[in-house]
């Protein structure tokens, strides 16, 4: 059965969501350690619930699409059967008449009994057309019989596909209910020790603000330094040389198609403001995106550029800032660096090892993107982030 473009699109989306759930399970739930940050556990569980809900929605769309196609096929099969019935009746009449004509008088006598040559010629034409019509009727019956067989096979396949989707959806829904219950249990345990949870929130926000301030300080410093070398003044935008402008234009032209800053991973926290899982009134902000990956993974440059700063936050990990014309990509939470300030890097060049948390075993890269001193949403620039 040939798939429609809508079917292919939904199936590709469903496979992507299934793979995302597998990666979430592998990267965020591989080890359940008591020392793990309860805030991270809540976020990871919420992410898995959201992806599973999206998977259920997409599977329902596929099931509805199959329903429509099944109904179309049923109507087509009914119409074909009616057409086939009429064709067979007409063909039977033709055969009967042909047999009667054959027994009453043969073709030669039919031609010889003509009054003149013109009438004989017309009778010959009629016999040929009659034979062709009978042959075509037979071919039409064979063709429509084959079409009916194909539609019946498609119908069986579609019904099996629908049953498979419904079975999978039931399983996913049961898993979703289990995860929602697990989230409720985690919420109950958090509420029993709200002081500890509040402290974890405060600490996480403090660390995020510290990183954000340092990133923006280094960018402004790089703008001032670069412009000073070019004999220009300005603290908010880079003065671009023709070469830097070319890099910036190429970078901009690749919006939505840039590679991931890791070879393999999942987005564990997106860009922007989001509500706290326990207290929706409390808002958190992520000025970049957080990507979970495998232990031992390395950060890689998303585009060609120049290393303009090495980021070091007291009490935290290290990071690298790369300038692509007037765009700056920042890779934070690195345990080891392979580049230094002033280095020219190429796309996919390894920048450093990503730090693995020794308490919960997670390996996460914090990735930020700026144009001059303006924040950008990396999800708009990195392919399918």
Q: Which long-range contacts (CB under 8 A, 24 or more apart) does 137-143 make?
A: 137/87, 137/90, 137/91, 137/94, 138/91, 140/87, 141/84, 141/87, 141/88, 141/91
Best-predicted range by mean pLDDT among 59-68, 106-115, 229-238, 259-268?
259-268
On whether the CB atoms of residues 318 and 337 are closer than 8 A, the answer is yes
d(CA 14, CA 59): 7
Torsion of CA 119, 125, 128, 130, to 10 degrees: -80
* SS3 state at 329: strand
Most confident of 3-12, 38-47, 49-58: 49-58
- Whole-angstrom distance, CA of residue 149 vs CA of residue 328: 61
What's the pLDDT at 35?
42
Question: What is the pTM for the complete model shown?
Answer: 0.61
Categorize the per-residue pLDDT at 232 as very low, low, confident or very high, splitting at 50, 70 and 90.
confident
205 pLDDT exceeds 70? yes
Both tokens assigned to 43: 């976020």
Q: In this model, does residue 258 exceed pLDDT 80? A: yes
Q: What is the pLDDT of residue 103?
A: 45
Tokens coding 149: 């067989």
pLDDT in tens, 292-308: 888 899 999 999 999 99
**Cβ atoms of 278 and 190 closer than 8 Å:** yes
Q: How would residue 283 be classed by pLDDT, with cut points 50, 70 and 90?
A: confident
- Please report the beta strands in the chain, taking only residues with DSSP state E, as ranges in sequence order: 266-269, 272-275, 283-286, 289-293, 298-300, 305-312, 318-324, 327-337, 344-345, 350-354, 363-371, 374-376
How many residues appear in the chain? 385
The residue that leads in pLDDT, 92 or 219, is 219
Each as own residue / partner, the long-range contacts of residues 101-104 (CB below 8 Å, 24 or more positions apart, any chain) are none
Position 225 scores a pLDDT of 85
Assess whether pLDDT exceeds 80 at residue 371.
yes
Average of per-residue pLDDT across 282-287: 82
Antiparallel, parallel or unpaired: β 318-324 and 374-376? unpaired
Geometric angle at alpha carbon 261, from 30 and 210, rounded to 5°: 85
Reported as a single tens digit per residue, the pLDDT across 116-145 is: 666 666 655 665 666 566 666 656 666 766
| β-bridge partners, 374 | 371
Does 33 have pLDDT greater than 50? Answer: no
Tokens describing residue 241: 């040389």
DSSP assignment of 107-164 equals HHHHHHT-SSHHHHHHHHHHHHHHHHHHHHHHHHHHHHHHHHHHHHHHHHHHHHHHHH
> With 80 as the cut, is the pLDDT of residue 261 above it?
yes
pLDDT of residue 92: 63
Site of tokens 């995106």: 289
Range 338-354 average pLDDT: 94
Tell me which range, 124-138, 265-279, 367-381, is most confidently predicted by mean pLDDT: 367-381
Distance CA 20, CA 30 (A): 14
Complete DSSP assignment for 171-196 = HHHHHHHHHHHHHHHHHHHHHTTHHH
Mean pLDDT of all residues belonging to the chain = 78
Query: Do strands 283-286 and 272-275 pair parallel, antiparallel, or not at all (unpaired)?
Result: antiparallel
User: Of 28-32, 159-163, 297-301, which one has max mean pLDDT?
Assistant: 297-301
| 62: nearest Cα among 151, 157, 166 | 166
Read off the pLDDT of each residue in 189-212 and give the average, rounded to a whole number: 74
């Amino acid at each position: 059965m040939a798939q429609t473009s809508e079917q292919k699109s939904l199936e590709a989306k469903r496979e992507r969501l299934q793979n995302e759930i597998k990666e979430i399970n592998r990267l965020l739930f591989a080890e359940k350690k008591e020392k793990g940050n309860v805030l991270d556990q809540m976020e990871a569980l919420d992410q898995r619930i959201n992806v599973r809900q999206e998977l259920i929605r997409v599977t329902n769309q596929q099931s509805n699409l199959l329903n429509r196609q099944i109904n179309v096929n049923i109507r087509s099969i009914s119409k074909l059967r009616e057409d086939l019935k009429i064709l067979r009746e007409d063909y039977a009449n033709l055969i009967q008449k042909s047999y009667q004509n054959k027994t009453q008088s043969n073709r030669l006598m039919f031609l010889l009994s003509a009054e003149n040559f013109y009438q004989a010629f017309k009778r010959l034409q009629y016999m040929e057309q009659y034979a062709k019509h009978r042959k075509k009727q037979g071919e039409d019956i064979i063709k429509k019989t084959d079409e009916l067989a194909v539609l019946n096979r498609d119908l069986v396949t579609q019904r099996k596909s629908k049953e498979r989707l419904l079975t999978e959806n039931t399983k996913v829904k049961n898993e979703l209910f289990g995860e929602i219950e697990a989230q409720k249990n985690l919420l109950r345990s958090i509420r029993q020790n709200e002081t500890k949870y509040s402290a974890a929130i405060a600490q996480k926000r403090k660390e995020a603000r510290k990183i954000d301030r340092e990133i923006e300080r280094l960018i402004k410093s790089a703008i001032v330094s670069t412009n000073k070398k070019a004999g220009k003044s300005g603290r908010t935008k880079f003065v671009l040389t023709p070469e830097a402008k070319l890099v910036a234009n190429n970078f901009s032209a690749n919006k939505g198609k840039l590679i991931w800053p890791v070879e393999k991973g999942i987005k564990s926290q997106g860009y922007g403001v989001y509500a706290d899982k326990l207290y929706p009134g409390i808002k958190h902000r992520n000025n970049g995106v957080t990507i979970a990956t495998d232990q031992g993974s390395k950060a890689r440059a998303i585009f060609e550029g120049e290393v303009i700063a090495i980021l070091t936050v007291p009490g935290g990990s290290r990071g690298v800032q790369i300038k692509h014309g007037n765009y700056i990509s920042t890779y934070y939470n690195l345990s080891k660096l392979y580049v230094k300030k002033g280095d020219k890097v190429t796309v996919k060049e390894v920048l450093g090892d990503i730090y693995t948390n020794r308490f919960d075993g997670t390996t996460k890269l914090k990735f930020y993107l700026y144009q001059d001193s303006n924040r950008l949403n990396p999800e708009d620039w990195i392919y399918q982030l």
